[in-house]
Amino acid sequence: MTKPFDSTVRDFLAGRIWLRLHTPFPTETIDKHIESQHIQTIQGIKSQKKFANQVRHFCNRCENDTQSRFTTFDCAKCNGPCTYCRHCIKMGRISTCTELIVWNSEPPVYPLEHALTWGGILTSQQQKASNELIESNNKRLPHLISAVCGAGKTEILFEPIHKLLTQGKRVCLAAPRVDVILELEPRLRTAFPNTAIEALYGGSESTIESAQLILATTHQLYRFRHAFDAIFVDEADAFPYTAEETLRRAVRKAAKPQTPIHYVTATPSEKLLAEMNKTGRVSSINRRYHGHPLPVPRYDTLWNYAKHIRKGRLPAKLVKWIEERLQLQQPFLIFFHTIMLMEEAEPLFKQLDAKICAVHAVHPDRQERVQALRNKEIPGLLTTTILERGITIPNVQVAVVGSEQLTFNKCALVQIGGRVGRSAQFPTGDFVLFHHGITYAMDEAKNEIHRLNKGGVHV
Amino acid sequence: MNECLLCEQIIAFSPSWKGLLGLDRQMNICPNCSKKFKHADIKDEGTILDKITTLYTYNEAMREYLHQFKFLQDVQLAGVFAKELHEHLKGAGTIVPIPMHPEKKIQRTFAHMDELLKSANVSYSNILDKTDTVVMGEKSKEQRLAMKPLFALKPGKTLQSGTYILVDDIYTTGTTLCHAAIVLKEAGATRVEAVTLIRAER
Ligand SMILES: [Zn+2]
Ligand SMILES: [Zn+2]
Ligand SMILES: [Zn+2]
């Protein structure tokens, strides 16, 4: 291939799989690169005839093959039956008559000089895990770091990431939830001040840069293909990642073939543990970085709380708990099992302090409100399990309302408790489960925390 | 068993006699999503348009819906209001969707009003043509009505007398619907009504 190409087009497109008609470049530029074969086109939806006139569709962007997630309609553009993928539609519709493009020529070359300016010191457990991860990566084996909440998981990744960057490799740190990405971004920018870093999540500003280190929600990985020399998946067990096979495939597709995918989590699922024990390696950390134990939950009854809230009354115990927090000026999180109950309760909490407010997965002001809690502009938040992980607020106190509900399984409760006592300055705090009956999950969570505090590892 | 078109949850199916006999129309969205849309049932009467019915208020759920249906081109979402549209339109007269400009239709890849009606299983006649693509944003009401007609009868079409029902997604100022109603009345319609999904608040 001797024809010249535009290096900004290469830098943008390398490792991505993009809609031909929606690039940041003029269509003529893209067309020219297709003509010179620097860019390859791929049909958006692959439809294959099976026996008995059945057709099976496959989305070449998100690799969805669940047939119920495809819709065929009479298309006015291509004048015929046209099939589109509903699974990745939020990123621009992919249909039979849309084309995807990938870079088909020399890859970009990334710099080898990267500063790591993190001033902290790893604990011996952290250092061991970090070394083990580097070793696994060199051997191209997947690695799982199973570390209690507050063990300092991100810091463990700094050295392994730095090693890869200085070898000119492209690295991705992915997490299923946007909150986790938002929390990671400033920390990584501080740790790697000279490295081109881009954070990608629904609603992030798009640039035409081609960063060497990419932070992304797993959803955003639909738009990448054979891009990374290593992917670290943080909070690997978090919904919806475990729930969705397509997201798992998206991570695989975003990595170059044969490259390892590493996982980091506080509550690995049995499936992930089994898989990693078989095909890769596992490091466990059962101590928080400040050496203090995980807070053990205490139980307190809150009989018929849903009925009381529905009738417009907050149970007295809950009022007392809030009033104590307000008086001591301790930030707090109160977890609910449904949005509906939480929204019924919100005005009642506002009577105690008008600044208390609620967030949930699709709340438009979620990010602003979490930030307001961090900035101490509001005393506390009501939340669904969406905030069970990834957020760190010094001295935060946590209550679960209705901990007997199914949503609050062992993992969720361990994660929720993990919000408490994370900072060395405030290593303890209240973690109360208000319930209408004690469940196995509550006891299992408590036992797990006791076990971890005694020095046990995940089984 | 079917999935909610909006949140993908499985919709719990409560069997009923009507359901078993195939008389009950299946819901395409779950009760949880369904209750986010607020019914409006505003009815107006006028001189050009004999009656205007608006089915829903414009809220966050409706904004998101229209975004995904029209802007993200999720044709499947035409089924979200199938049941309501069916109940409102079945047997009410000749249904006439407000047409799209052909270029705009190719751009969107489908005519959203036609798709809504197809999903609702009501038959309709495309008897109007859009004449130009002037965007109506900043003109005053007088200017808008004084402009040349926005619609014309499709070439070769004739109308029988009777009731005609115009269907559109958004009722903004009424100009669009008025223009269409005038064309129909001049061609012989005795009564022209309109049904819109929402009414834009001003
Ligand atoms: Zn797709
Ligand atoms: Zn098409
Ligand atoms: Zn739903």
**Sequential pLDDT tens for chain A (459 residues):** 467 899 999 999 999 999 998 899 999 999 999 999 999 999 999 999 887 778 999 999 999 999 989 999 999 999 999 999 999 998 899 999 999 999 999 999 999 999 999 888 898 889 999 999 999 999 999 999 998 877 788 999 999 999 999 999 999 999 988 888 988 999 999 999 999 999 999 878 777 777 999 999 988 999 999 999 999 998 777 655 555 677 788 899 999 998 999 999 888 888 888 888 899 999 988 888 888 888 999 999 999 999 999 999 999 999 999 999 999 999 999 999 998 899 999 999 999 999 999 988 777 788 889 889 989 999 999 999 887 776 788 999 999 999 999 889 888 898 899 899 888 889 889 999 999 999 999 999 999 899 888 876 544
Predicted complex: ipTM over 0.95: no
Please tell me what DSSP assigns to residue B73: -
Give CA–CA dist A379/B191, Å, rounded.
60
CA atoms within 13 A of residue B185's CA, in its CB half-sphere: 13
A399 strand-pairing partners: A334, A432
The pLDDT of residue A453 is 85
How much distance in Å is there from the Cα of A48 to the middle of ligand 2? 17
Residue in A with minimal Cα distance to B6? A86
From the centroid of its chain, how far is CA A381?
Answer: 21
pLDDT on residue A422: 87
Quick check: A192 contacting B, CB < 8 Å? no
Ligand 1 ion local residues (Cβ < 5 A): A 59, 61-62, 64, 85, 87-88
The answer to whether the CB atoms of A77 and B115 lie below 8 A apart is no
What pLDDT shows up at residue A266?
84
The Cα of B106 is separated from the nearest Cα of chain A by a number of Å equal to: 5
Pick from A113, A111, A106: which is nearest to A14 by CA?
A106
pLDDT of B73 over the 90 cut = yes
Cβ–Cβ below 8 Å for A73 and B74? no
Residues of B in contact with A19 (CB under 8 A): none
Q: Residue A192, Cβ neighbours under 10 Å: how many?
A: 21
pLDDT of residue A60: 94
* Shortest CA gap B3–chain A (Å): 9
d(CA A20, CA A40): 10
* Any A CB within 8 A of B106 CB: yes
**Residue A77 contacts B, CB cutoff 8 Å:** yes
Domains of chain A are: 7-103 (no CATH), 124-285 (3.40.50.300), 298-453 (3.40.50.300)
In contact, A374 and A227? CB cutoff 8 Å:
no
pLDDT score of A459: 44
In this structure, are residues A375 and A325 in contact, taking their beta carbons and an 8 Å threshold?
no
Contacts of B73 in chain A (CB under 8 A): 84, 89, 93
Task: Report the alpha-carbon distance of residue A446 to residue B2 in Å, rounded.
Answer: 39
A122 with A156: CB under 8 angstroms?
A: yes
Residue B114 contacts A, CB cutoff 8 Å: no
Closest residue on chain A to B61 (Cα)? A362
Structural element, H or E, at residue A245: helix A245-254
Rounded to a whole number of angstroms, the CA Rg of chain A reads: 24
Q: Residue A332 and residue A382: Cα distance in Å, rounded? A: 9
Residue of A126, A117, A73 lying closest to A95 (CA atoms): A73
Residues of A with CB below 8 A from B115's CB?
A: 73
Instruction: State the CATH class of domain B37-199.
Output: alpha beta
As a dihedral over the C-alpha atoms of residue A24, residue A28, residue A30, residue A32, rounded to 10 degrees, the angle is -150
Q: Is A19 on the interface with B (CB under 8 A)?
A: no
**Domain ranges in chain B?**
1-35, 37-199
Instruction: Look at residue A292 in the predicted model and tell me its pLDDT.
Output: 86
B11 vs A381, residue with greater confidence: A381
Look at A71 and B110 and tell me if their CB atoms are within 8 Å.
no
* Confidence (pLDDT) at B191: 93
A30 near B CB under 8 A: no
Q: How far apart are CA A401 and CA A416, in angstroms?
A: 12
B chain contacts of residue A73, beta-carbon cutoff 8 Å: 75-76, 109-110, 115
Closest by Cα among A33, A11, A7 to A20: A33
Largest CA distance in chain A: 77
Q: For residue A402, give both structure tokens.
A: 């209705």
